């Protein structure tokens, strides 16, 4: 089955700078894929090549098997690109702004008006159709740009920092819109520095630094490769010193350290062995009241895989 978005050996050079260096990953239909990395890592350059705004020096990007090199027009028909910075003509209303782009996409007659109605309804812009774009809040302007990106019903959507500058409510609402688009079968590549947002919606991520991919795939698989052991937080009613001393005697327990009101340690066993360890703590009268594996999120992945290199 052909991936909706497939990036293969992508390289882009500006003078002595290899902004993108042999980048490869793919996104399937209905999948939300995060694209994360420090500022200047090569994310925006990669996205611009995907959107046919720049030519690669080597490699290729295919949208539903159409190449950005061989079939750029076909790519633009199937791709929706929402850049990190965009302009909204201040003297136009929401409806006129969207209608202008609908005409640019060669939508005509009843089809154009039905598309405008559906897109405004999906993005909740209907009540604002006669508002000047200059009067919209940051969140509504983001919705307007998303609505414009949806007019030609793209199969693949590339969103560059769509949540930048939004308040918490607007970010939640945008997240729900992105989920709904994925449920419609659209492949979505989304770049963001708000990693907690991405971790809640992404099926996979690609981590890039200094133009090179550091890791890619489902977050849980990346975490497993980064940290094969479990990190467990334990809190007991008994004296911390006694608990710390006893934990150090258990097999498979490593790196015992105090944290807040409890103890954190690395455990090299599987879940049945975790259960056995907890049972032993109870039997020995240490009275555990909190015992939980600490989840590794995208922020942990980002910090472990990147060094903040600037090109």
Q: How many CB atoms lie within 10 A of CB 178?
A: 23
Is 304 a member of any domain?
Answer: no
Residue 120, burial from CB neighbour count under 10 angstroms (0-12, 13-18, 19+):
buried
Q: Is the pLDDT of residue 120 over 80?
A: yes
The Cα–Cα gap between 79 and 89 comes to: 23
The structure tokens 């590549």 sit at: 189
Residues 6+ apart with CB under 8 A from 269: 230, 252, 277
CB 107 within 8 A of CB 90: no
pLDDT recorded at residue 155: 97
Q: What is the mean pLDDT of the chain?
A: 89
- Going by pLDDT thresholds of 50, 70 and 90, the confidence category of residue 3 is very high
Q: Is the pLDDT of residue 284 over 70?
A: yes
- Going by pLDDT thresholds of 50, 70 and 90, the confidence category of residue 239 is confident
Based on the fold, state whether residues 22 and 100 are members of the same structural domain: yes
- Domain boundary among the residues 169, 189, 224 is at 224
pLDDT recorded at residue 301: 73
Based on the fold, state whether residues 30 and 162 are members of the same structural domain: yes
Provide DSSP, 178-236.
HHHHHHTT-EEEEE-S-HHHHHHH-SEEEEEETTEEEEEE-HHHHHHHH--SEEEEEEE
pLDDT recorded at residue 251: 87
Based on the fold, state whether residues 148 and 261 are members of the same structural domain: no
Mean pLDDT calculated for residue range 150-172: 90
Based on the fold, state whether residues 216 and 232 are members of the same structural domain: no
Is 306 a member of any domain?
Answer: no
Domain with 272, as residue range(s), is 228-295
Based on the fold, state whether residues 63 and 186 are members of the same structural domain: yes
Mean pLDDT calculated for residue range 17-22: 95
Based on the fold, state whether residues 90 and 155 are members of the same structural domain: yes
Q: Is the pLDDT of residue 275 over 70?
A: yes
Q: Is the pLDDT of residue 265 over 80?
A: yes
pLDDT recorded at residue 256: 92
Domain containing 193 — which CATH number? 3.40.50.300
- Domain boundary among the residues 183, 198, 224 is at 224
Is 308 a member of any domain?
Answer: no
Residues 6+ apart with CB under 8 A from 112: 99, 102, 103
Residues 6+ apart with CB under 8 A from 93: 129, 130, 131, 132, 133
Q: Which residue has the higher pLDDT, 288 or 2?
A: 288
Mean pLDDT calculated for residue range 12-24: 95
pLDDT recorded at residue 310: 60
% the chain with pLDDT above 70: 96
Based on the fold, state whether residues 129 and 249 are members of the same structural domain: no
- Going by pLDDT thresholds of 50, 70 and 90, the confidence category of residue 306 is confident
Q: Which residue has the higher pLDDT, 228 or 89?
A: 89
Q: How far is CA 38 from CA 23, 83, 92, 124, 204, in A?
A: 16, 17, 36, 33, 18
pLDDT recorded at residue 270: 83
- Domain boundary among the residues 208, 224, 240 is at 224
Q: Which two tokens stand for residue 281?
A: 């703590």
Is 307 a member of any domain?
Answer: no
- Going by pLDDT thresholds of 50, 70 and 90, the confidence category of residue 218 is confident
pLDDT recorded at residue 63: 96
- Going by pLDDT thresholds of 50, 70 and 90, the confidence category of residue 309 is low
The three-point CA angle 56-60-61 to 5° equals: 105
pLDDT recorded at residue 158: 97
- Going by pLDDT thresholds of 50, 70 and 90, the confidence category of residue 297 is low
What's the start-to-end Cα distance of the chain, in Å? 36
Question: What domain count does the chain have?
Answer: 2
Q: Taking the CA of residue 52 as centre, how many other CA atoms within 13 Å lie in the half-sphere pointing to its CB?
A: 17
Based on the fold, state whether residues 276 and 158 are members of the same structural domain: no
Q: Which two tokens stand for residue 251?
A: 């097999």
Based on the fold, state whether residues 255 and 106 are members of the same structural domain: no
Based on the fold, state whether residues 289 and 174 are members of the same structural domain: no
Is 309 a member of any domain?
Answer: no
Is 302 a member of any domain?
Answer: no
Q: Which two tokens stand for residue 228?
A: 């094969």
- Going by pLDDT thresholds of 50, 70 and 90, the confidence category of residue 295 is low
Q: Is the pLDDT of residue 228 over 70?
A: no
Domain containing 285 — which CATH number? 3.30.70
The Cα–Cα gap between 142 and 148 comes to: 10
Based on the fold, state whether residues 39 and 132 are members of the same structural domain: yes
Q: Which two tokens stand for residue 11?
A: 């390289």
% the chain with pLDDT above 90: 60
Q: What is the pLDDT of residues 162-194, one digit of tens each?
A: 888 788 888 888 899 999 999 999 999 999 887
Based on the fold, state whether residues 138 and 246 are members of the same structural domain: no
Is 204 a member of any domain?
Answer: yes
pLDDT recorded at residue 6: 97
- Going by pLDDT thresholds of 50, 70 and 90, the confidence category of residue 90 is confident
Is 310 a member of any domain?
Answer: no
Mean pLDDT calculated for residue range 278-292: 91
């Amino acid at each position: 089955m052909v991936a909706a978005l497939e990036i293969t050996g992508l390289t882009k050079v500006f003078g002595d700078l290899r902004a993108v260096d042999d980048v490869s990953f793919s996104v399937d239909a209905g999948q939300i894929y995060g694209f994360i990395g420090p500022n200047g890592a090569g994310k925006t350059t990669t996205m611009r090549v995907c959107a046919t705004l720049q030519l690669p020096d080597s490699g290729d990007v295919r949208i539903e098997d159409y190449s950005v090199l061989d079939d750029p027009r076909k790519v633009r028909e199937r791709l929706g690109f929402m850049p990190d910075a965009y302009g909204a003509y201040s003297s136009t209303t929401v409806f006129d702004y969207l209608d202008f782009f609908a005409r640019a996409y060669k939508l005509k007659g009843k089809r154009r008006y039905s598309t405008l109605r559906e897109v405004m309804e999906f993005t909740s812009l209907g009540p604002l159709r006669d508002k000047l774009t200059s009067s919209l809040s940051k969140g509504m302007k983001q919705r307007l740009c998303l609505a414009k990106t949806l007019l030609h019903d793209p199969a693949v959507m590339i969103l560059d920092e769509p949540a930048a500058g939004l308040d918490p409510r607007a970010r939640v609402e945008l997240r729900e819109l992105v989920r709904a688009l994925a449920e419609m079968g659209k492949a979505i590549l989304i770049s963001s520095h708000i990693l907690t947002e991405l971790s809640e919606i992404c099926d996979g991520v690609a981590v890039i630094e200094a133009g090179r991919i550091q890791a890619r795939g489902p977050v849980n698989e990346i975490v497993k490769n980064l940290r094969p052991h479990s990190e467990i937080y334990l809190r007991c009613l008994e004296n911390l010193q006694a608990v710390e001393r006893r934990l150090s005697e258990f097999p498979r327990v490593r790196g015992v350290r105090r944290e807040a009101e409890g103890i954190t340690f690395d455990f090299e066993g599987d879940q049945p062995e975790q259960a056995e360890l907890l049972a032993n703590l109870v039997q020995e009268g240490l009275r555990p009241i909190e015992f939980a594996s600490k989840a590794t999120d995208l922020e942990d992945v980002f910090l472990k895989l990147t060094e903040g290199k600037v090109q």
